[in-house]
């Protein structure tokens, strides 16, 4: 039996007094001994939490016991150690930042693309009238993506709406959207429908569920995840590595964060360059005075930064 579980989930469901809910939810998660990161917004929950199987089961039971979150689907990974160091629950304007805040236009509770289960997605993805659309950021699809997928040159999901015009050529196709766990597709597919795309689908449960239920077939590379694992294997059918080292160009599946905290770039780097560059993406970052110690993982726990007293004084005077 696994020592720990990591749960990935989301649920679009209206939460009254979501800010207070977030505070209470943090206390509850800590009482179970969980670690992780949860975003709470008026529109729902988006989280990844990690803990013992017993603690994770207790958490899932509590979420399902709250009638607002009955539709939540948990993707469960067995891990050797917790995937986070601390527990954070934060209130934000959206559970995935898109900049699309008009519920009359984009509301996943009312209208999204047709959900495809992993095996349905597998059966459709190679049809002539289909285009597979990756709605994730550059650093994610550079690490791994579906074979023949259309990818977008975006740094964050909030850049997706500006790319709609570039996708106009696919309006007569069946558009199959996908992301890590499904949450981005809820809004991406809704926006595509709003913009006149007629036949829009989304991979239910995302890449993670596809790996578990369809063997990850034709997903090339690894899948980026938002915890200290940084990436996970998906394809057990026909796996291949597609990512290359930023520094030398050698094929490598290893994703890290730059050791310079003021850069913190997500990029792929082979172990040899990792040692040579001390986990940095460039010589400039390597010589930065705040460079963190590289331990070979490329994952760093965020630490509070010292207060800029002079800057704070200026702000207070201005007020």
Q: Name 53's bridge partners.
A: none
CATH 2.60.40.10 fits 4-91, yes or no: no
Mean per-residue pLDDT for 23-43?
97
Mean per-residue pLDDT for 266-288?
96
Mean per-residue pLDDT for 38-57?
97
pLDDT, residue 302, reads: 59
Mean per-residue pLDDT for 99-122?
88
The topology under which CATH files domain 114-223 is: Oxidized Rhodanese; domain 1 (3.40.250)
pLDDT tens readout for residues 139-162 = 999 999 999 999 999 999 999 999
What's the predicted TM-score (pTM) here? 0.88
pLDDT, residue 107, reads: 87
pLDDT tens readout for residues 171-180 = 999 999 999 9
Mean per-residue pLDDT for 9-32?
97
| pLDDT higher than 90, residue 310 | no
Flag the least confident range among 4-13, 194-203, 225-234, 274-283.
225-234
| pLDDT higher than 70, residue 45 | yes
- If you write DSSP's letter for every residue of 228-296 in order, what string do you get? TT-EE---SSS-----B-TTT--B---EEE-SSTTT--EEE--HHHHHHHTT-SSHHHHT-TTPPPP-S
β pairing state of 199-203 and 174-178: parallel
- Alpha carbon dihedral 61, 66, 70, 71, in 10-degree steps, equals -100
Catalytic residue among 179, 223, 273, 280: 179
Mean per-residue pLDDT for 241-263?
96
- Rg, the chain, Cα only: 20
Instruction: Give me the chain's average pLDDT, please.
Output: 92
Domain ranges of the chain: 4-91, 114-223, 244-319
Confidence band (pLDDT; 50, 70, 90) for 103?
low
Q: Which is nearest to 251 in space by CA: 272, 233, 266?
A: 272
Rounded to an integer, what distance in angstroms lies between the CA atom of residue 6 and that of residue 51? 7
Catalytic residue status for 223: no
| pLDDT higher than 70, residue 306 | no
pLDDT tens readout for residues 211-222 = 999 999 999 999
């Amino acid at each position: 039996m696994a020592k720990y579980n990591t749960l990935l989930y989301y649920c679009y469901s209206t939460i009254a007094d979501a800010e207070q809910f977030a505070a209470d939810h943090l206390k509850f998660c800590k009482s179970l001994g969980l670690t992780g990161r949860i975003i709470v917004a008026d529109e729902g929950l988006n989280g990844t939490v990690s803990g013992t199987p017993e603690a994770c089961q207790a958490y899932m039971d509590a979420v399902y016991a709250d009638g607002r979150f009955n539709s939540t689907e948990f993707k469960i990974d067995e891990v050797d150690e917790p995937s986070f160091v601390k527990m954070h629950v934060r209130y934000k304007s959206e559970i995935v930042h898109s900049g699309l805040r008009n519920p009359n236009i984009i509301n996943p509770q009312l209208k999204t693309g047709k959900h495809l289960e992993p095996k349905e997605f597998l059966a459709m993805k190679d049809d002539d009238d289909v285009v597979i659309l990756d709605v994730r950021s550059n650093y994610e699809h550079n690490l791994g993506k579906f074979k023949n997928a259309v990818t977008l040159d975006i740094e964050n999901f909030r850049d997706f709406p500006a790319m709609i015009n570039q996708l106009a050529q696919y309006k007569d196709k069946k558009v199959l959207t996908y992301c890590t766990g499904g949450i981005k597709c809820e809004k991406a597919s809704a926006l595509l429908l709003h913009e006149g795309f007629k036949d829009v689908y989304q991979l239910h449960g995302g890449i993670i569920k596809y790996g578990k239920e369809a063997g990850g077939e034709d997903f090339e590379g690894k899948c980026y995840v938002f915890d200290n694992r940084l990436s996970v294997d998906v394809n057990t059918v026909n796996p291949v590595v597609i990512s290359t080292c930023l520094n030398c160009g050698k094929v490598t599946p290893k994703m890290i964060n730059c050791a310079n905290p003021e850069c913190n770039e997500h990029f792929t780097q082979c172990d040899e360059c990792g040692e040579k560059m001390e986990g940095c993406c460039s010589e400039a970052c390597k010589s930065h005075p705040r460079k963190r110690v590289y331990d070979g993982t490329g994952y760093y726990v965020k630490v509070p930064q010292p207060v800029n007293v002079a800057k704070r004084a200026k702000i207070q005077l201005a007020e």
